Amino acid sequence: MSERDSFSSISRRGFLTSAAALGAAVVAGPVLADDISMEDIINAPRRGNWDDQFDAKASRTAAAISTKNPIFGPGASANLQQAIFDYESIVANGGWPKVSTTVKLKIGMSDPAIAQLRKRLMISGDLAKSAGISNEYDSLVEEGVKRFQARHGLPLDGVIGKYTLEAINIPADTRLMQLRTNLERVNAITVDLGQRYVMVNIPAAYIEAVENNRVAQRHTAIVGRISRPTPILDSKIYNVTLNPYWTAPRSIVEKDIMPLMRKDPKYLADNKIRLFDGKGNEVDPTTIDWNAEAPDLMFRQDPGKINAMASTKINFHNEHATYMHDTPSQGLFNKLSRFESSGCVRCQNVRDLTTWILRDQPDWSRQQIEATIRTGVNTPIQVTNEIPIYFKYVTAWSAKDRVVQFRDDIYQMDGAQELALQTGLNQEPVVAN
């Protein structure tokens, strides 16, 4: 196909669930079948008038956007307020132009829409004004597009495809509203977060381990889809379990395991899931009528490589039966759309996070953690000094270098339909815990 071929008719979901993040998960932090296995179940912008100094910043590579500034650092509210001032100026000056094109725009092309794109990127601070206005898509434009993509959690391909175009054409006043909404969310956080804490930003699908107001670790996450959302909560991590058992929630038993057992009576055995009654006695699956209602039994999967939580489970106090955990399907972290669990949060490189959590417990060095995982033995570890953990819903934020981040309003909480670009994703009956 030529460069001027029209956009593919691929659905947004098809794109998001197949596109690798191409590094976006790293830099997009704050300025920051018939034979069904358990794995199938588990996977089942800125101110209006730019000075020369800031224009120079706009030429940074997208990778430079990632910093050690936490979303909820001491200046979080002030930084968001500054972003609001910047966007109020943009809106007062007429916002930015709509980029009108029916073809993908990429480096080497010449098209009238590129002049619109250049102006759009300049207004949002992603392209230096010195780049000028022309119809040419040169390396400066490509770099500006990548920077825009990094700020919006999009794949860093430097191409104006369908989904980058959707994001780039969201009006400035809508983005201003989004910033104001998130300022209220940040200002609502009045507790002392603590010297060390873990923060999960649900719309960004990533995790921060924060120490002394600096991000010590940042992890890509998988969170709940819109039909089974991850809850917003404040809690404390009290336990880490290596080689955990996985107990299927009642919802998964009813919606997924029961239908699968009707199709394949060997499903539980193949996935090392055993049944137990209220007294702890094991129950033979052949004694169950799988065409009836789900039995009042515990469905527990043994530890092992195919276990839904793989090597690690991180427990914290909450009423939602929600926790964080490892996954045997590490490839899922390469997806752009990582909203496909049943509410729990899967953490990439979870052993790094576990080591950080247990840092002050000398019996649990990284070496000991790895050795214990290799045994395959279920090993619960109490956290001596419980670590605060926060699950928050923040779709727009900024840091002291005044680079603003935006994410899709996956749970439709921001009040603008055009922000909920991923609405309708992950509605099929595929279950994740």
Tens digit of pLDDT for each residue in 240-264? 999 999 999 888 899 999 999 999 9
Q: What angle do CA 204, 156, 79 make, to 5 degrees?
A: 45
Q: Which of the four pLDDT bands, split at 50, 70 and 90, describes residue 44?
A: very low
Residue ranges of the chain assigned to CATH 2.40.440.10: 182-245+304-397
| DSSP-H helix ranges across 98-169 | 112-123, 139-151, 162-168
Which of these, 389, 354, 382, lies nearest to 368 by C-alpha position?
354
> Could you tell me if 366 and 351 are in contact, meaning their C-beta atoms sit under 8 angstroms apart?
yes
| Residue 305: predicted pLDDT | 83
| CA nearest neighbour of 235 among 71, 388, 382 | 388
CATH 1.10.101.10 maps onto the chain at: 22-32+45-181
**Confidence at residue 41, expressed as pLDDT on a 0 to 100 scale:** 44
Say whether pLDDT at 57 is over 50: no
**Residue pLDDT, tens place only, 167-226:** 999 999 999 999 999 999 999 998 899 999 999 999 999 999 999 999 999 999 999 988
Non-local CB neighbours of 15 within 8 Å, separated by 6+ positions:
162, 163, 336
The span from the CA of 40 to the CA of 50, in Å, is 50
For residue 294 the two structure tokens come to 């789900």
Count of other CB atoms within 10 angstroms of residue 211: 15
Question: Of 191, 215, 201, 209, which is closest to residue 359 (Cα–Cα)?
Answer: 209
CA distance linking residue 287 with residue 299, whole number of Å: 14
Domain at 182-245+304-397: CATH code: 2.40.440.10
What's the confidence (pLDDT) of residue 45?
33
CATH topology of domain 22-32+45-181: Muramoyl-pentapeptide Carboxypeptidase; domain 1 (1.10.101)
pLDDT score recorded for residue 63: 53
- pTM score, two decimals? 0.79
User: Using N-to-C axis directions, what is the helix angle for 366-375 and 350-357, rounded to 10°?
Assistant: 120
Is there a contact between 208 and 67 (Cβ–Cβ < 8 Å)? no
Rg (CA), the chain: 23
CA distance 379 to 15: 40
The pLDDT mean for the chain works out to: 84
Band (433; pLDDT cuts 50, 70, 90) = low
Strands (E) in 90-232, as ranges, are: 196-201, 206-211, 214-224
